[in-house]
Chain A
Amino acid sequence: MNVRENLKAYLDRELPEDQAAAVRQALEQDPSLRQELEEMRMLGLEIRRAATEPEPVGMEQTIGRIAAPRRPWARRPLLALSGIAALAVLVSMVSVLNRARGDSPMAESAAGADVAMKSVAPMAESMAEAPGRAAGENPDYAMAGAFPERMVVRTADIRLKVDDAAAAMQKAIELAKSLGGYAASSGISRETERSTPVGTATLRVPERNFDAALGQLRTFGEVLSENSNSDDVTLQHADVSARLKVLRAEEQQYVTLLGAAKTIGQVLQVRERLNQVRQEIESLDAQRKTLERQAALSTITATFVQRTAVGEPEPGRGWASEAWASAVNGLTAAFRWIGAAAIFLFVYSPLWLPALLLVAYLARRFK
């Protein structure tokens, strides 16, 4: 134990008794240690004398703020203000939606607009069911572009058997380019050295050319499997856009509040909430852009499996492993056969066992 390190704690009576005793003993033997202790004591005293003793002000104001009865909304002014801002935006949305509903019989199925967000979804749904009607046709739908035309994310997986995987993949990439798209990724792989190559290409083509691209791909070879999927994201997009609008209004409110903040505490509180709102906005904006990108360009994942050439041995694992697998399979089959025979013999024993016993008895009798 280093006695010097404990000297300050000893001076402050913060040491456990056993360590304090050790320091006491060291102090008796070492005059320089005693001097150090004395200097520390004096230094502590000087520090206390040098410290300011500011005269407190503002206690009555603090008590006034704490003791005054307050309305529930006043306890959280920021929450109240953001609530008012959100309410204002919702009310304006409801009025616009109501006007739209009055003009368009198509949207009559929309649910009651008790909460604006709830009414956004059915309306967008109605529009989604009528793809022929573009948003721009009714001026009331021009509301911040919240209801664009039907938005569908289309994806497909197609697996084809072809003569040359690399050539087919290249052809598919060219096809995507000719249809106004591109290849997001492509590659050729082999499971083992002896296996045939497999090419995979992820193609992004404009949604309007999706069917044409898929049709062309089918002609590349023998279709082994095909799956396609359409995901209508109109509602999701409308929801994200509406939430973005509300949050942007809220952000503006906070910016105004920040300018009016008088204390550091208020500035910190407003800035913290402003940062949160901005993060939410960024996240939602990214979601909206992703949806728009996905809807604009459909994704086709094409896999090209190369046929085995005539005279070329089927891909396998080598003669030794094949012989091993064959022997193991043969042995397993033999055991299975023996097991099955034993079960049969046991089950049919009521028939053959008495006959066998009778034969054995007669054979002994007439011997």
Chain B
Amino acid sequence: MDPLVERAKRGDREAMAELVRRNYDAVYRFCARRVGLEPAKDMAQETFLTACRSLRRYEGRSSFEVWLLGIAHNLCRRSLRSSAPVNVEAAWRTEPDTEESWIDRRVLVEALRGLSAEHLEAVLLHEVEGLTYEEAAQVLGVPTGTVKSRLHHAFARLRSSLQAQGVNR
């Protein structure tokens, strides 16, 4: 286990503050892509406060960042159940990219919007947040094989949506 985490577990506030500095960006972006920019600040803060309270239960079976994202995932999911549905625009840019692109950005975002919540979550975790299959599985609390299967089906669906829109390489 990271010595900094060990210190935080023993109640060292400075160590916990350092852990916040190291992981805040990832947690904030994770929340912003799911609940939107406005509530992301509160959600990120709540994630770290929950982590502080639960730190003694962290056993180092996953990386600290993955553990934090697991907490953020649960908080976001709970808040989305009780308030308005997620704003997909918070996760994707619709304006065209300056770099050369082979897909119309709006068509791609439309295709992403057509994915189920589970498939979209797997795409975000792996493609955007850069987690491995195993790490994504730890965040979601599902077997690694499930992440693999969700990604396969998500990409199959995206390809078929894009082909239906006449997007072909």
Please report A residues at the B interface, Cβ cutoff 8 Å.
5, 7-9, 12, 14, 35-36, 38-40, 42-44, 46-54, 56-59, 61-63, 65-67, 69, 263-265, 267-268, 271
Q: How large is the interface on B (under 10, 10 to 19, 20 to 34, 35 or more residues)?
A: 35 or more
**A8 and B152 in contact, given A51-B93, A54-B33 (Cβ under 8 angstroms):** yes
Q: Does B43 contact A (CB under 8 A)?
A: yes
26 residue pairs bridging A and B, Cβ less than 8 Å apart: A5-B152, A8-B148, A8-B155, A9-B148, A12-B126, A39-B169, A43-B155, A43-B158, A44-B127, A44-B155, A46-B103, A47-B108, A48-B127, A50-B108, A51-B91, A58-B44, A59-B20, A61-B45, A62-B45, A62-B49, A63-B21, A66-B13, A66-B52, A67-B17, A264-B39, A264-B42
Contacts of A271 in B (CB 8 A): 82
- Measured CA separation A9–B155 after assembly (Å): 11
- Measured CA separation A237–B26 after assembly (Å): 55
- The answer to whether A14 touches B101, judged by C-beta atoms less than 8 angstroms apart, is no
The minimal Cβ–Cβ distance linking A1 to chain B, given in whole angstroms, is 13
Option from B41, B91, B108, B133 in Cβ contact (under 8 Å) with A12: B133
The minimal Cβ–Cβ distance linking A70 to chain B, given in whole angstroms, is 10
Contacts of A9 in B (CB 8 A): 133, 148, 151-152
Residue of B nearest to A15 (CB): B148
- The answer to whether A47 touches B123, judged by C-beta atoms less than 8 angstroms apart, is yes
The minimal Cβ–Cβ distance linking A353 to chain B, given in whole angstroms, is 82
Q: Find the residue from A9, A42, A265, A271 having the highest chain B CB count within 10 A.
A: A265
Q: Does B2 contact A (CB under 8 A)?
A: no
The minimal Cβ–Cβ distance linking A39 to chain B, given in whole angstroms, is 6
Q: Mark B117-161, 1 if CB is under 8 A from A, else 0.
A: 000000110111000110000000000000011011001001100
- The answer to whether A47 touches B112, judged by C-beta atoms less than 8 angstroms apart, is yes
- Measured CA separation A5–B152 after assembly (Å): 6
Contacts of A12 in B (CB 8 A): 126, 133, 151
Option from A5, A39, A54 in Cβ contact (under 8 Å) with B40: A54
- Measured CA separation A104–B155 after assembly (Å): 81
Q: Does B32 contact A (CB under 8 A)?
A: yes
The minimal Cβ–Cβ distance linking B68 to chain A, given in whole angstroms, is 12
- The answer to whether B29 touches A56, judged by C-beta atoms less than 8 angstroms apart, is yes
- Interface of B, helix, strand, loop or mixed by DSSP: helix
Contacts of B159 in A (CB 8 A): 36, 39-40, 43
- The answer to whether A265 touches B48, judged by C-beta atoms less than 8 angstroms apart, is no
Q: Does B86 contact A (CB under 8 A)?
A: no
- The answer to whether A265 touches B42, judged by C-beta atoms less than 8 angstroms apart, is yes
- The answer to whether A54 touches B17, judged by C-beta atoms less than 8 angstroms apart, is no
Option from A42, A57, A62, A267 in Cβ contact (under 8 Å) with B48: A62
Option from A38, A50, A54, A263 in Cβ contact (under 8 Å) with B42: A263
Q: Find the residue from A8, A12, A267 having the highest chain B CB count within 10 A.
A: A8
Contacts of A47 in B (CB 8 A): 108, 112, 123, 127-128
Contacts of B59 in A (CB 8 A): none
Contacts of B79 in A (CB 8 A): 264-265, 268
**A59 and B24 in contact, given A49-B99, A67-B16, A264-B79 (Cβ under 8 angstroms):** yes
Residue of A nearest to B126 (CB): A12
- Measured CA separation A42–B162 after assembly (Å): 13
The minimal Cβ–Cβ distance linking A287 to chain B, given in whole angstroms, is 30
Q: Mark B87-122, 1 if CB is under 8 A from A, else 0.
A: 000111100010101110100110010000000000
- Measured CA separation A38–B159 after assembly (Å): 12
- Measured CA separation A51–B29 after assembly (Å): 10
Contacts of B133 in A (CB 8 A): 9, 12, 14
- Measured CA separation A54–B14 after assembly (Å): 26
Given contacts A50-B93, A52-B90, A265-B46, could you give 5 more A-B pairs where the C-beta distance is less than 8 Å? A5-B152, A40-B159, A58-B44, A61-B45, A265-B79
Residue of B nearest to A11 (CB): B155
- Measured CA separation A263–B44 after assembly (Å): 11
- The answer to whether A49 touches B101, judged by C-beta atoms less than 8 angstroms apart, is yes
Option from B24, B29, B32, B124 in Cβ contact (under 8 Å) with A62: B24
- The answer to whether A8 touches B151, judged by C-beta atoms less than 8 angstroms apart, is yes
Residue of B nearest to A69 (CB): B13
Residue of A nearest to B105 (CB): A50
Q: Find the residue from A36, A57, A59 having the highest chain B CB count within 10 A.
A: A59
- The answer to whether A56 touches B24, judged by C-beta atoms less than 8 angstroms apart, is yes
Contacts of A52 in B (CB 8 A): 32-33, 90-93
Contacts of B28 in A (CB 8 A): 54, 56-59
- The answer to whether B99 touches A66, judged by C-beta atoms less than 8 angstroms apart, is no
- The answer to whether B101 touches A46, judged by C-beta atoms less than 8 angstroms apart, is yes
- The answer to whether B90 touches A58, judged by C-beta atoms less than 8 angstroms apart, is no
- The answer to whether A66 touches B151, judged by C-beta atoms less than 8 angstroms apart, is no
Contacts of B127 in A (CB 8 A): 44, 47-48, 51
- Measured CA separation A12–B112 after assembly (Å): 19
Q: Find the residue from B20, B33, B90, B162 having the highest chain A CB count within 10 A.
A: B20
